[in-house]
Amino acid sequence: MTKPAVFTQGDISKLLKGAKSAGVDVRRVIIDRSGRIVADFGKPVDDTSEPNEWDVVFDAQEKRTAKGRH
């Protein structure tokens, strides 16, 4: 038997609509296992200046496997 959801989609919608009506940007929403909802407010940070280390690993892996294909 599954455990009932601790939060609903409506809870997230209320948070986002409330922030929008207040003129606040939501950077991200975090929901932990207990159902606690935390919102970070502010402009999204553009962190595309340097690649993620895992992007480099996966790109290298794709290139390596593509060479072996015929």
- E strands, the chain, where? 26-31, 37-41
Q: What is the pLDDT of residue 13?
A: 93
17 assigned to some structural domain: yes
Place of tokens 């999204």: 44
2 assigned to some structural domain: no
Structural domain span for residue 50: 9-67
Asked whether the whole model's pTM tops 0.85, one would answer no
1 assigned to some structural domain: no
4 assigned to some structural domain: no
**What is the domain count for the chain?**
1
30 assigned to some structural domain: yes
Please state, in angstroms and rounded to a whole number, the distance separating the CA atoms of residues 16 and 22. Answer: 10
List, for residues 18-50, the tens digit of each pLDDT value: 999 999 999 999 998 888 999 999 887 666 666
